[in-house]
């Protein structure tokens, strides 16, 4: 069984970090197809970025479907293009925000999210509402760094840790890392905190693999029916 | 004062219908800049379509901003790319779903939506939730026609009327037309029903004009800050 | 086209301020009928006040309807008697709380309200829930002044500004002024803050005018059917 | 201990029916002060009626407070003027809609409401939302009769019974009678149905008496502080 | 009429305190059957405790029903086993969390809860959601004491008072005591605070008595139908 | 890695069916520990049943933890004792209602549930609310059979199929089987319907395995802290 993991941005360092996180989660039990699109923005931090990245994300999933991937993970906390990816796929497609929130919701009575920028906090709250997981969301805190500044260095990790501790002090029992770029720090963070740290790539790879292995498939009855020949540009 | 109206698809007949609806709402009181993008899908009925149309919609708004438009209407009931359009604009940007739901919410205690396809009903319910107007949404009914089949002919109108009557029978007090393609039938529908018919282009042009005239502008503080140089492809 | 603006209280200074705000929003594009009732409380700060003012507010709207007004604004942030006004009107009737919250909801991802008294904060939160705009409401802050103390003086303005800044610091991207008495300070406030300031009279006059100009009318099918001869005392 | 029951309308037949229902609930255990206002509308079916009745309802409660009533029931399913009554009272004040919904919510997993007119259904749904009891509200059905047509005759009872049965068929486990005028039929209805019938006057008299006897009082800290000298006209 | 009050834990001191609170609420107007189960945990602070206590709580209610009790109060703020108790009872069954939240919801526009442990705050928030009373819940504060440490001593009272004051400072207008063990301090607390203090045993005894006296009974139609012979172990 | 699956009732035929469904989902990729408790009710259809079964379910999980199980599935659609099981476990614990609703929520825009008895529909709706997945729940339909009547026979299957088709006709895009007893019919049902059928045991085994394999563990910080020595009876 092969699970696809798409890094929606075109920064190779992030694709590498995402791949490592996915491989750790897979632990050799199944194959992975990890990639970034051929084109698109270097990072996704605005609605403009999401629009720019989306067609390329879908193209990657189309390729993954052609290669027989049984499930698909979109490795950006904005969950870009997930609906369109579900249109072209048969197996489950889950973005890492939805995946980590779903996972966190069964691990504790409340979870919190650490994100990059303060201005992005409402977008994460709105995503939680969309996924139905807003009541369990205790708080969202920011470490005030740009996506591409997250590099796993001690300075970078310290700032993420501070925000994670704030989330626990707010009353959350589980910390969700709100950016794929934090994946590289997940193990270290969990050793520093007394709470589970849900890293989106690992959690969602696990969920999608588990669901695909159980034979679960995306419904083609309505919202996610195949677009039937409409090319994505 | 000039208000921009963008038809996100590339079907000239629809752009013409949208323009007529906008002009009727403006009544000569202000200028309009009505257009369709240079490229993109002929109709927007899937998530793939939305992705394909989005960059072109934003490009139209960029052009409208450069020409000094004071407000912007996105004339497709999927409200595609509204967030990204708000990033590049100063004046208010409102999609016709959000605009007609907001308008309907003050005209009656409950409103209903007539849409094209049954499979699209959940998407409209979810949009109402996103806009906070789901409690006032009594029901959504479909006339089972493709977007480009809506042509203002008696046969087409009859099907829309049937669905509109169902919405009133369900208990709604206001009918919202859930597709820009229904604009051409709005006047006739209102003469047949005893309830207000909210046609999205007219309603949203009215709202946006009213807000722009009152000096209201999009906040650049957070979610809709200008993307600062990130080109939309 | 004439738009009616009713100041529900009987304080002439406030009626003057409300009129100025409405005239600035109209900018000469359309006529206004601004008035206060013949009788009623000097200010509206309790439920008792609302009850005392309501019949007089409705009487003003009845008069406005008789004079052919196409839309009606109720210029008090308690939105008193709006439902009863909708019963006697044909055109749209919107209170300035509902109007400013609707406007704010499309200008930023979160808005906040500055109100007069701390004890009134829950009432504003409940209104936001009623209008469906509670999720976008980031916070409500009070400037701890009575309605009639708001006089546009530097001392008064400074207190409103402080509360407005708190609302932005809480994470809101748009500031809504939660009392018609703050209208006189709106321009100054916007020059001091980096965020849009939604002053209810101006915003709602804009919305109502835009909707009336687009031909939108209150539904007489159910909740807002004319009370048919039952005199309002 | 004396509990006040106010019929907000000025129809003596209804005041008599309300009094009988209250007396049955009191069963001689405590005193009642049942009255209708000196002036006001004969029935309450529109927002205009509510406005007309409200000052007179509050005046009745002021009188009841002066006579030492320990709790107050507003016997109209519109719960008119409850907030203003709480301002002038010390003991609990509960309208029969809020009272019957609260009672119903602990007697079954879902309750339904029988109301008079179909057009009034959304208002009842909105009240349930306001009281937090909307999720437990299974449905609202109407018997299509004017308030003053409910007279306890076999014809009147049969129509109420039909609507009550619909509510149970919809899945409710408890029937709430949505008009004080149905009080006279409550005993007969319960004998016909297999489900508890919550008649608002009886249920709310019970609740208010129980709360007053337990020493519970309205908070004067904020929303329900005494209006301090503002006369209600 | 006899009302049953069950202390779900097996600590005699708490049963005594619960009994005193119930007797004060009853004021001699009706009989009480106060008891603790024959077996079960000494306190209820974990889900394991709730499971251990539940069968014994139901057994107490079965006994109370056999003795003709007309209503039943479950005197633990976890509201353990309420659904199962409703299955075996005819009269109303209410837990003190649901009872105090319902009572508080009509006494002020916002209420707050004082609980024992910080870690328990989310459970109380979730209960408020379940009962529909979460919007009126302003905050939950903890006094950081174990259930059995609450002994009415000055030190114990001081800690509860501090948390109660925090809840009022947060904006609540009514304080709900979130543990039956606080019952003994209720009178003293109310004398120290300017706000109503809702002590769950007294409030719920009042509510249940009032409802039973009004003839209200649990519906046996669905969720609370008698389990018909399935013994509870 | 070993995943535990507990059938909370003591009917051997159901345990066998549950085991088969789990084994199909595991597909030999990992070990399973499938069991039923030593004691407890034969089926779980009332709150009394849930109380009776709960301590035995927790005891099974305690045993599974001692044997090193990395995750735990509670195979009854009532999700009995899940919170208490989380207290005693380290790995994830998920009931099959929560598991199938979470899985269904990413496979289609709306899902529906087929349950056994009509009277149980509100309980399932309430569970969806608790899990945050109520907006995506389109409908719940019943096949009107007792839990132990589900035997995989053509007659039994036909009734489940009818209810499943109703759920799709209501607008759902995914069918969730609302009883572990339906597991044996899942493959046949999916062949008859055009929509994904989410069978709770298989889906939850997949989710839990995926999460455990990704290293996700239950938080011991608050609600699910170990009860520390309090024996479950």
Enumerate the residues of chain C whose CB falls inside 8 A of the CB of residue B209: 210, 213
Predicted local distance difference test score (pLDDT) of residue F147: 86
Nearest Cβ partner of A133 from F132, F211, F220?
Answer: F132
Chain B contact present for A41, CB below 8 A: yes
Q: Residues F103-133: pLDDT tens digits?
A: 999 999 999 999 999 999 999 999 999 999 9
End-to-end CA distance of chain C: 29
Predicted local distance difference test score (pLDDT) of residue B10: 97
Enumerate the residues of chain A whose CB falls inside 8 A of the CB of residue B123: 223
Residues of chain A with pLDDT under 70: 229-233
Contact between A189 and A126 (Cβ < 8 Å): no
- B126-140, B195-209, C147-161, D6-20: range with lowest mean pLDDT: C147-161
CA C47-C51-C52 angle, 5° bins: 115
Chain F contact present for E83, CB below 8 A: yes
Q: Residue C125 above 60 pLDDT?
A: yes
| pLDDT confidence band for D148 (50 / 70 / 90) | confident
Q: What is the mean pLDDT of chain B?
A: 94
Dihedral of CA atoms F94, F98, F101, F104 in degrees, nearest 10, equals -10
Chain F contact present for E119, CB below 8 A: yes
Q: How far apart are CA A200 and CA A78, in angstroms?
A: 11
Percentage of the residues of chain A whose pLDDT score is greater than 90:
89
Span(s) in chain C for CATH 3.40.50.12500: 2-95+203-213, 97-199
Percentage of the residues of chain E whose pLDDT score is greater than 90:
89
In angstroms, the separation between the Cα of residue C116 and the nearest Cα of chain B is 23
Verify F-C touch: 3 or more CB pairs within 8 A: no
Q: Residue D202 above 50 pLDDT?
A: yes
Q: Residues E191-201: pLDDT tens digits?
A: 999 899 999 99
Residues 6+ apart with CB under 8 A from E9: E36, E40, E41, E42, E43, E44, E49, E53, E76, E147
Q: Residues C43-65: pLDDT tens digits?
A: 999 999 999 999 999 999 999 99
List E residues 156-195 in contact with C (Cβ-Cβ < 8 A): 171
Enumerate the residues of chain B whose CB falls inside 8 A of the CB of residue D117: none
Beta carbon pairs, B and D, within 8 Å? 10
Q: How far apart are CA C111 and CA C176, in angstroms?
A: 7
Closest residue, chain F, to A128 (C-alpha): F132
Enumerate the residues of chain C whose CB falls inside 8 A of the CB of residue B98: 106
Q: Taking Cα atoms as reference points, which of E71, E82, E79 lies closest to residue E211?
A: E71
Predicted local distance difference test score (pLDDT) of residue A151: 86
Q: What's D223's DSSP letter?
A: T
Dihedral of CA atoms D173, D176, D182, D187 in degrees, nearest 10, equals 50
Mean of pLDDT values over B9-24: 95
Chain E contact present for C63, CB below 8 A: no
In angstroms, the separation between the Cα of residue E134 and the nearest Cα of chain A is 11
Query: What are the residue ranges of helices labelled H in F106-199?
Result: 121-130, 154-169, 186-192
Q: Residues E167-190: pLDDT tens digits?
A: 999 999 999 999 988 988 898 999
Mean of pLDDT values over E96-113: 98
DSSP-assigned beta bridge partners for residue B30:
none
**What's the token pair of residue F35?**
């069991």
Contact between B88 and B226 (Cβ < 8 Å): yes
Contact between B224 and C179 (Cβ < 8 Å): no
More confident residue, E152 or B10: B10
Inter-chain touch B126–F110, beta carbons under 8 Å? no
Predicted local distance difference test score (pLDDT) of residue D231: 42
List E residues 141-160 in contact with D (Cβ-Cβ < 8 A): none
Chains that touch B (3 or more CB pairs under 8 A): A, C, D, F
Q: Taking Cα atoms as reference points, which of A7, A18, A12 lies closest to residue A203?
A: A18
**Residue to substitute from C26, C96, C106, C200, interface B, most B β-carbons within 10 A:** C106
Predicted local distance difference test score (pLDDT) of residue B230: 44
Inter-chain touch A210–F213, beta carbons under 8 Å? yes
Predicted local distance difference test score (pLDDT) of residue C106: 98
Q: Residue B199 above 50 pLDDT?
A: yes
C97-199 belongs to CATH 3.40.50.12500? yes
Enumerate the residues of chain E whose CB falls inside 8 A of the CB of residue F39: 233
Nearest Cβ partner of B84 from A39, A48, A87?
Answer: A48
The question of ipTM being above 0.90 is answered as yes
Q: Which CATH architecture has domain B2-95+203-213?
A: 3-Layer(aba) Sandwich (3.40)
Q: Residues B67-82: pLDDT tens digits?
A: 999 999 999 999 999 9
Mean of pLDDT values over E28-38: 96
| pLDDT confidence band for C229 (50 / 70 / 90) | low
Predicted local distance difference test score (pLDDT) of residue B231: 42
Predicted local distance difference test score (pLDDT) of residue D44: 93
Q: How far apart are CA F138 and CA D212, in angstroms?
A: 43
Predicted local distance difference test score (pLDDT) of residue C232: 37
Percentage of the residues of chain F whose pLDDT score is greater than 70:
98
Chain D contact present for E222, CB below 8 A: yes
Mean of pLDDT values over C80-105: 98
Predicted local distance difference test score (pLDDT) of residue B57: 98
Q: What is the mean pLDDT of chain F?
A: 94
| pLDDT confidence band for C155 (50 / 70 / 90) | very high
Predicted local distance difference test score (pLDDT) of residue A232: 37
Closest residue, chain A, to C170 (C-alpha): A118
Residues of chain F with pLDDT under 50: 230-233
Predicted local distance difference test score (pLDDT) of residue E183: 87
CA F86-F88-F89 angle, 5° bins: 65
Q: How far apart are CA E37 and CA E8, in angstroms?
A: 6
Q: How far apart are CA C139 and CA B120, in angstroms?
A: 34
Predicted local distance difference test score (pLDDT) of residue F233: 30
Q: What is the mean pLDDT of chain D?
A: 94
Chain F contact present for E60, CB below 8 A: no
């Amino acid at each position: 069984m092969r699970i696809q993991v798409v890094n929606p941005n075109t920064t190779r360092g992030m694709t590498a970090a995402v791949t490592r996180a996915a491989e750790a989660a897979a632990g050799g039990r199944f194959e992975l197809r990890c990639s970034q699109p051929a084109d698109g923005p270097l990072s996704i931090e605005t609605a403009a970025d999401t629009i720019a990245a989306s067609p390329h994300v879908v193209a990657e999933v189309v390729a993954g479907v052609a290669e027989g991937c049984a499930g698909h993970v979109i490795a950006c906390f904005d969950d870009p293009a997930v609906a369109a990816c579900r249109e072209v796929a048969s197996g489950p497609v889950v973005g890492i925000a939805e995946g980590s929130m779903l996972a966190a919701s069964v691990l504790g009575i409340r979870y919190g999210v650490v994100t990059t920028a303060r201005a992005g906090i409402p977008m994460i709250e709105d995503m939680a509402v969309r996924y139905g997981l807003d009541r369990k969301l205790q708080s969202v805190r920011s470490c005030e760094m740009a996506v591409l500044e997250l590099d796993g260095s001690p300075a970078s990790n310290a700032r993420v840790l501070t925000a994670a501790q704030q989330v626990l002090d707010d009353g959350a029992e589980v910390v969700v890392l709100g950016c794929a770029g934090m994946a590289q720090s997940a193990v270290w963070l969990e050793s520093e905190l007394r709470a589970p740290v849900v890293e989106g790539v690992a959690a969602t790879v696990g969920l999608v693999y588990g669901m695909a292995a159980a034979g679960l498939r995306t419904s083609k009855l309505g919202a996610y029916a195949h677009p039937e020949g409409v090319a994505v540009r």
